[in-house]
Amino acid sequence: MSTARAARFDFIPAIDLIGGKCVRLTQGDYAQKTVYHDDPVTVAKQFESAGVKRLHLVDLDGAKAGKVINQSVLEKIAAATELEIDFGGASLVTVGSIAAKDPELVKSWLNIYGAARFFLGADARDEKIAVHGWLEQTDIFVFDFVRDYAAAGLKNVFCTDISKDGMMQGPSGELYKMLLKRCPGILLTASGGIRNMQDVAGLIQIGCSGAIVGKAIYEGQITLKEIELFHAGKTTH
């Protein structure tokens, strides 16, 4: 299946870390953990060889503990590759839990460092923001959350529908359509539920600017060859 490429669309593999290993959870449940690789650096280098430019690195230990735990893995990947990494303290700083808990602090950072340095993580369960590794539910509606930060100048947003994450049942297209409609001007990266390159093509068509893909790669539903062809602009089947 071929498709017209968006003016900007980033295919962003995810590496989730627990104990320094590459893992995936199901619906954010730490009790439903699968270890896919012992060496995240090797995985990151494979992605880079397939043409990937950006990497979504998630410190699940850190999200649970409320502080960075796997910084050494970040440093090793940054040293071994030229990937643009979004992670606390990396080239794109992800703000999620703290953006929900302390918006005034985060907005002060936007003013000091520039909004382009930040990636807003809008993780939602039943359209409400969840924080601290999705273990805590807030009363903040995802649309209000994103719109508030967009008004403050933050345009780079990734949104995960937690109910879809790791389920391999397809992404939340309707949620993303609604976000793009209610928050015009954002650069929206979809996350959660992506099964194959057809799903990626569908996200391009609704106007998303990127997709974070995890389990589909590790389960072999999206191959490194398909990623390579995508980056060459040849196909998304």
Q: Where are the alpha helices (DSSP H) in the chain?
A: 40-49, 60-65, 71-80, 97-101, 103-113, 142-151, 173-182, 197-206, 215-218, 224-231
Pairwise CA distance, residues 5 & 169, whole Å: 23
Tell me the fold of 10-231. TIM Barrel (3.20.20)
Q: Where are the domains of the chain?
A: 10-231
Sign of CA dihedral 106, 177, 207, 81: positive
Q: What is the pLDDT of residue 6?
A: 46
Is 16 one of the annotated active-site residues of the chain? yes
Count of beta carbons in the 10 Å neighbourhood of residue 27: 15
Task: Dump pLDDT digits (tens) for 164-212.
Answer: 887 788 999 999 999 999 999 999 999 999 999 999 999 999 999 999 9
Structure pTM?
0.89
Residue 236 near residue 37, CB atoms below 8 Å:
no
Is 165 one of the annotated active-site residues of the chain? no
Task: Dump pLDDT digits (tens) for 128-160.
Answer: 999 987 888 999 999 999 999 999 999 999 999
Residue 210 near residue 14, CB atoms below 8 Å:
no
Closest CA to 171 of 144, 147, 145, 197: 197
From the list 16, 59, 86, 161, the catalytic residue is 16
Percent of all residues in the chain with a pLDDT value above 90, rounded to a whole number: 78
From the list 61, 86, 123, 161, the catalytic residue is 123
Residue 4: pLDDT band (50, 70, 90) is very low
Residue 237: pLDDT band (50, 70, 90) is low
